Amino acid sequence: MSDEFVVKSDPELWEKLGMDVARFSGMPPMLTNAYRNIFLSQQNRPERMAYFDDMVANIHTGRIREICDAKDGGKPVIGTFCVYVPEELVVAAGGICIGLCGGAQGSIADAEKILPRNICPMVKSAFGFKVGKICPYFQVVDLVYGETTCDAKKKTWELLDRYVPTHVMEIPQMKRERDKQLWKEEVKDFKVAVDRITGNETDFEAVADGIRTINAKRAALQRLNSLRHHNPSPISGKDMLIIQQIAFYDEPVRFTQKVHDLCDELEKRVQAGIAVAPKSAPRILVSGTPMALPNWKLHSIIEGAGALVVNEESCIGTRYYKDLIDEGSSDMDQQLERLTERYMKIDCSCFTPNDDRIEQVLKEYEASGAEGIIDYCLQFCHTYNIEAVKLREACEARGIPFMAIETDYSPDDVGQLQTRVEAFIEQIKG
Amino acid sequence: MQVGIDLGSRTIKTVALMGGTVLHRRVVESGFEPHRQALQMLGEHPGARAVATGYGRHLMQQQAGLDIITEIKAHALGARHLFPYCRAILDVGGQDSKVIHLSADGRIVNFQMNDKCAAGTGRFLEMMAVSLGYDLRGFGEAAAVAEGSTPINSMCAVFAESEVVSLKNRGVPPEEIARSVHLAVASRLAAMVSKTCQCQHLVFTGGVANNKTLVSLLETTLGVPVLVPEDPSVIGALGAALHAGNS
């Protein structure tokens, strides 16, 4: 099985997309190797992970062809970098929404030819993918829609606009009534920008359909996440992470169905007592900044040390799917109002105050049966880094083992991280 | 008999215990093939139960089938054995510094470790000593007798080195620069300790604890007694040996 897995190549397609084919050709074999080592080497995986493995195998080919076909059929393709940009409205316009956040060390050198070194690795990685022409998704989008959640992002968009049309949605940093008004206006502007690509105005029915589709996707992920909370867990944290990463580039209706299929299998595994790790394996909740593809660094270290990740309180995690949009609207204004309300519940650390997030982490800690929290902060993400102070205090007050780590994509601190994670596991075991 | 082996970034340490008494301890340079060196050191204690810790612990687990514990746990066990009431431990080795906070009954409640950076580690002191032309002992002694100091602003080993170069070229006496480097390290370590725990006293382990100037500066900065074991570099190995006895 593991020898059969190959991340596929299609130089002709890449050439057509204007990629640096010579350079990119090295990427699939590297990813093949990493995926075999990190994912396919796991014992006792659910059978229906096969679909998600296949999505990884087709990440640079099959899925790209699907997107190209849709685009040729006049569908808009929009790249985003944040769970605040409402994909419901893209789906409503018949379009495809792709998460373009970068999680690879390989593109950072490209970015650093232009951007300063001491900024967020996720922003650098994404920017590097575009300037190096080494990401087929970046090549295929009509436009990207950035936001103003952090300084590194909003200033990078000004530069990214030189390479790909880049729109920016202003996300307020507080959640008062006047901020909500601003936000709603921004949502309306986003809808106009999407509609402009298709030349048609998306109507009430279409928006309702977009909301239903994405609600269904989020609900499927909620179901999956609550199944994985079972102790002993029927699925590993690494597999959960890859599914949540695939959620950002797969076709939503098919993805939703496949997640439910997997959930059905997991339910049977739970009943039959089939698990990926013994009940005694320490259970860890990871909170904090997102892990974009192919960032599997922390999960590999944690699960390599014999513990299990049982929840991701993260944008590529529960922050993406914990809230749904009320589907009972009677007109479009109400739809956009309710959509905005749903998006305002997302508890990114860019907001102040943001104490709801602390409550949310504690809630997920309880729900997942975790025994400790590792707060994951990408280097130079000041807001999550500072918010870790409050999170630590909340954990200490409740006797919850807590560890904050700050890291980037480079492999050079893996030794230190291993020691810290193993010591944290020793601390949990007592 | 139980043996603890600590494969650190600069040295390998072994401690052999019998009934809670240290029979033997050894510290050697890691060299180019630390695992060979370590296997040879283990061979000196045939039949002993052995536990490995330190950076090379996984290698010992793979090659010699040893049980492993992290340096954090090893130092906690070792320090607690020598100072049964200690609640705070600072360990500064070749490439790491760590602070460990223990509960009254000796469980680890919290710990901090430096990031992937040499600031506040033995390696940092070593590099600064070299750029001033001292050996390690001479470096600490010079710092002790200096009459003044100049603040060192950078704790990045690379930038600090160029800062030291510019201080030298401004005619600042080397002992004064040595003292400044010690002060900078002491304040960095003290901040790490204060961030992790409030303590009545601190146990200081790891090779860097042999530096008496640093110990006394740390005492002044923190305002609490700093206790250094007789041979601070083997406390991790001692902890591993104690763990071998428990498991």
Cα A42 to chain centroid distance, Å, stands at 22
The one-letter amino acid at A84: Y
- Using a CB–CB cutoff of 8 Å, tell me whether A416 touches chain B: yes
State how far residue B189 is from chain A, nearest Cα, in angstroms: 18
Map residue B146 onto helix, strand or coil. coil
Q: What's the whole-number average pLDDT of chain A?
A: 97
Segment A255-271 mean pLDDT: 98
Predicted pLDDT at B239: 97
What token pair was written down for A25? Answer: 């050709």
CB < 8 Å to A423, chain B: 70-73, 108, 111
Interface test with A, best of B57, B116, B123 (most A CBs within 10 A): B116
Strands B97-102 and B88-92, sheet pairing: antiparallel
State the SS3 of A383-410. Answer: HHHHHHHHHHHHHHHHCCCEEEEEECCC
Asked whether the beta carbons of residue A413 and residue B73 sit closer than 8 angstroms, the reply is: no
- pTM comes to 0.94
Cα B39 to chain centroid distance, Å, stands at 23
- Using a CB–CB cutoff of 8 Å, tell me whether B107 touches chain A: yes
- In this predicted model, what pLDDT tens digit does every residue of A297-348 receive, in sequence order? 999 999 999 999 999 999 999 999 999 999 999 999 999 999 999 999 999 9
Q: What's the whole-number average pLDDT of chain B?
A: 92
Measure the CA–CA gap between A377 and A385, rounded to whole angstroms: 6
Whether the per-residue pLDDT at B41 is higher than 80: the answer is yes
State how far residue A28 is from chain B, nearest Cα, in angstroms: 29
- In this predicted model, what pLDDT tens digit does every residue of A20-34 receive, in sequence order? 999 999 999 999 999
How many residue pairs from chains A and B have C-beta atoms closer than 8 A? 39
First-to-final CA distance of chain B: 13
- Using a CB–CB cutoff of 8 Å, tell me whether A251 touches chain B: no
- Which stretches of chain B are assigned E, i.e. beta strand? 2-7, 11-18, 21-29, 49-54, 67-68, 88-92, 97-102, 108-113, 202-205, 226-227
Map residue A236 onto helix, strand or coil. coil
Nearest-CA residue of chain B relative to A411?
B116
Measure the CA–CA gap between B35 and B59, rounded to whole angstroms: 7
Predicted pLDDT at B154: 78
Closest Cα to residue A63, out of A223, A236, A190, A252?
A: A252
Whether the per-residue pLDDT at B54 is higher than 60: the answer is yes
- In this predicted model, what pLDDT tens digit does every residue of A152-190 receive, in sequence order? 999 999 999 999 999 999 999 999 999 999 999 999 999
Asked if A306 and A298 touch (Cβ cutoff 8 Å), the reply is: no
Predicted pLDDT at B116: 64
Predicted pLDDT at B156: 75
Measure the CA–CA gap between B10 and B30, rounded to whole angstroms: 6
- Using a CB–CB cutoff of 8 Å, tell me whether B227 touches chain A: no
Where exactly does CATH 3.30.420.40 map onto chain B?
1-83+231-247, 85-228
- In this predicted model, what pLDDT tens digit does every residue of A109-163 receive, in sequence order? 999 999 999 999 999 999 999 999 999 999 999 999 999 999 999 999 999 999 9
- Using a CB–CB cutoff of 8 Å, tell me whether A393 touches chain B: no
Q: Classify residue A313 as left (phi > 0), alpha (psi -120 to 50) or beta.
A: beta
Pick B111's closest partner by Cβ from A415, A416, A423.
A423
Predicted pLDDT at B155: 73
Asked if A233 and A275 touch (Cβ cutoff 8 Å), the reply is: yes
Backbone angles phi, psi at A172, to 5 degrees: -65, 170
Pick B113's closest partner by Cβ from A412, A416, A426.
A416
Whether the per-residue pLDDT at A291 is higher than 80: the answer is yes
- In this predicted model, what pLDDT tens digit does every residue of A206-249 receive, in sequence order? 999 999 999 999 999 999 999 999 999 999 999 999 999 999 99
CB < 8 Å to B52, chain A: none
CATH for B85-228 (1.10.3720.10, 3.30.360.10, 3.90.226.10, 3.30.420.40):
3.30.420.40
The one-letter amino acid at B81: H
Fold held by B1-83+231-247: Nucleotidyltransferase; domain 5 (3.30.420)
CB < 8 Å to A418, chain B: 58
- Per-residue confidence at B133, pLDDT binned at 50, 70, 90? very high
Pick A426's closest partner by Cβ from B55, B70, B109.
B70
Whether the per-residue pLDDT at A1 is higher than 70: the answer is no
Closest Cα to residue A127, out of A154, A155, A156?
A: A156
- Using a CB–CB cutoff of 8 Å, tell me whether B96 touches chain A: yes
Backbone angles phi, psi at A22, to 5 degrees: -55, -45
- The secondary element (H helix, E strand) that includes residue A285 is strand A283-288
- Per-residue confidence at B95, pLDDT binned at 50, 70, 90? confident
- In this predicted model, what pLDDT tens digit does every residue of A39-63 receive, in sequence order? 999 999 999 999 999 999 999 999 9
Asked whether the beta carbons of residue B71 and residue A419 sit closer than 8 angstroms, the reply is: yes
Asked whether the beta carbons of residue B73 and residue A423 sit closer than 8 angstroms, the reply is: yes
Segment B114-140 mean pLDDT: 87
Q: What is the dihedral of CA A345, A346, A350, A351, to 10 degrees?
A: 10
DSSP string, A146-173: EE-SSHHHHHHHHHHTTTS-EEEEPPPS
- Using a CB–CB cutoff of 8 Å, tell me whether A406 touches chain B: yes
Segment A276-287 mean pLDDT: 97
Domain residue spans of chain A: 11-429
**B41 vs A254, B9, B17, B35, CA distance in Å?**
59, 16, 14, 10
Closest Cα to residue A31, out of A47, A4, A11, A8?
A: A8
Cα A383 to chain centroid distance, Å, stands at 18
Burial of A296: CB neighbours in 10 Å, binned 0-12, 13-18, 19+: buried
- In this predicted model, what pLDDT tens digit does every residue of A332-391 receive, in sequence order? 999 999 999 999 999 999 999 999 999 999 999 999 999 999 999 999 999 999 999 999
What token pair was written down for A173? Answer: 């940093």
Residues 6+ apart with CB under 8 A from A94: A75, A76, A198, A206
Interface test with A, best of B69, B95, B115 (most A CBs within 10 A): B115
**A183 vs A158, A208, A344, B12, CA distance in Å?**
21, 20, 9, 59
Measure the CA–CA gap between B64 and B5, rounded to whole angstroms: 12
State how far residue B170 is from chain A, nearest Cα, in angstroms: 30
Residues 6+ apart with CB under 8 A from B107: A427, A430
- Using a CB–CB cutoff of 8 Å, tell me whether B75 touches chain A: no
Pick B115's closest partner by Cβ from A413, A423, A427.
A413
- Per-residue confidence at A2, pLDDT binned at 50, 70, 90? low
- In this predicted model, what pLDDT tens digit does every residue of A401-419 receive, in sequence order? 999 999 999 998 998 899 9
Predicted pLDDT at B246: 83
The one-letter amino acid at A18: G
Asked whether the beta carbons of residue B96 and residue A416 sit closer than 8 angstroms, the reply is: yes
CB < 8 Å to A422, chain B: 70
- In this predicted model, what pLDDT tens digit does every residue of B165-201 receive, in sequence order? 899 999 999 999 999 999 999 999 999 999 888 889 9
CB < 8 Å to B58, chain A: 418
CB < 8 Å to A412, chain B: 116
**B185 vs B122, B151, B161, B168, CA distance in Å?**
10, 11, 14, 19
- Per-residue confidence at B31, pLDDT binned at 50, 70, 90? confident
